[in-house]
């Protein structure tokens, strides 16, 4: 089946630094990928849509300068949390649409900013 | 945007019991999936079921798109079934945004 690989699975960073999260589709090509954020005991909220070869589309209320998205190829999208602060601590998870299986998700990245 | 409501929000079952989880959505969809989120956060794709009925072992799901709801059945529940169950929907096209429901937190006890 379709596989999406996400790294790192867990990261702890100091306040003010930047963190990059990678999302790769391993056995299929994805012109579009999605980035979600999940706070404890809450549902997943879509942050942005990553488009290969063009700018990402951000949901209302998501700061595009803080959450930089790059979709460099048909199999790789990256999310960079810039100048991270403790309130950015959350679970970030990517997904890609696959024709056969709907949407496939990565394993997620738990970010802790100290 | 589409509103997706799930019920019940919390459910505690004794091992071996059966349960039905419900997902209501506010608009027409061409895509619906059920996920199980395990304690480590990983989303396990249970069903891709925009319409009709599917079964996979002890789990089955039914979506009645015209009435805007979907049901997930868990039979003979096991402790490993514990976690959060989400349904998620999207409008037409495979690149449409997937909107998640509010989730059902299931705890299966011995």
Structure confidence by residue, pLDDT tens digits, A15-31: 999 999 999 999 888 88
Identify from A1, A4, A44, A52 which residue to disrupt to test chain B contact, counting B C-beta atoms within 10 A and taking the largest count.
A44
Q: Does residue B26 contact residue B88 with C-beta atoms inside 8 Å?
A: no
Residue B94 has pLDDT above 50, yes or no: no
Helix (H, G, I), strand (E, B) or coil at A97: strand
Distance between CA atoms of residues A57 and A79, nearest Å:
13
Q: Looking at residue A52, what DSSP letter applies?
A: T
**CA of B101 to nearest chain A CA: how many angstroms apart?**
7
pLDDT of residue A101: 66
Contacts of A108 in chain B (CB under 8 A): 41-43
B102 vs A: CB within 8 A: yes
CA of B5: which chain A residue's CA is closest? A43
Residue B95 has pLDDT above 70, yes or no: no
A82 vs B: CB within 8 A: no
| pLDDT band, very low/low/confident/very high, at A62 (cuts 50, 70, 90) | very high
Contacts of B41 in chain A (CB under 8 A): 38, 91, 93, 107-108, 110
Q: With an 8 Å Cβ cutoff, are A34 and B100 in contact?
A: no
Q: With an 8 Å Cβ cutoff, are B95 and A97 in contact?
A: yes
Summary mean pLDDT of chain A? 93
Of the partner residues A95, A107, A110, the one whose CB lies closest to the CB of residue B98: A95
C-alpha separations of A32 from A8, A20, A35, A98 in Å: 20, 18, 10, 10
Alpha-carbon torsion B26, B30, B34, B40, what sign? negative
Structure confidence by residue, pLDDT tens digits, B34-92: 999 998 899 999 999 999 999 999 999 999 999 999 999 999 999 999 999 999 998 86
């Amino acid at each position: 089946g379709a596989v999406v690989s996400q790294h790192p699975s867990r990261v702890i960073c100091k306040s003010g630094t930047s963190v990059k999260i990678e999302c790769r589709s391993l056995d299929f090509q994805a012109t579009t990928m999605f980035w979600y954020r999940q706070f404890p005991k809450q549902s997943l909220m879509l942050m942005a849509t990553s488009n290969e070869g063009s700018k990402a589309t951000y949901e209302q209320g998501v700061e595009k300068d803080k959450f930089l998205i790059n979709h460099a190829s048909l199999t790789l999208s990256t999310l960079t949390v810039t100048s991270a602060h403790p309130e950015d601590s959350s679970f970030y998870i990517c997904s890609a649409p696959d024709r056969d299986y709907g949407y496939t998700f990565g394993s997620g990245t738990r970010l802790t900013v100290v | 945007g589409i509103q997706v409501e799930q019920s019940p929000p919390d459910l505690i079952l004794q091992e071996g019991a059966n349960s039905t989880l419900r997902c209501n959505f506010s608009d027409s969809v061409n895509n619906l999936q059920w996920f199980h989120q395990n304690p480590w956060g990983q989303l396990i794709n249970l069903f891709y079921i925009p319409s009709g009925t599917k079964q996979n072992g002890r789990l089955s799901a039914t979506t009645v798109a015209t009435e805007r709801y979907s049901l997930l059945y868990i039979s003979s529940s096991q402790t490993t079934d514990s976690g959060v169950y989400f349904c998620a929907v999207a409008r037409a096209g495979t690149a449409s945004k997937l909107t998640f429901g509010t989730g059902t937190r299931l705890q299966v006890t011995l």
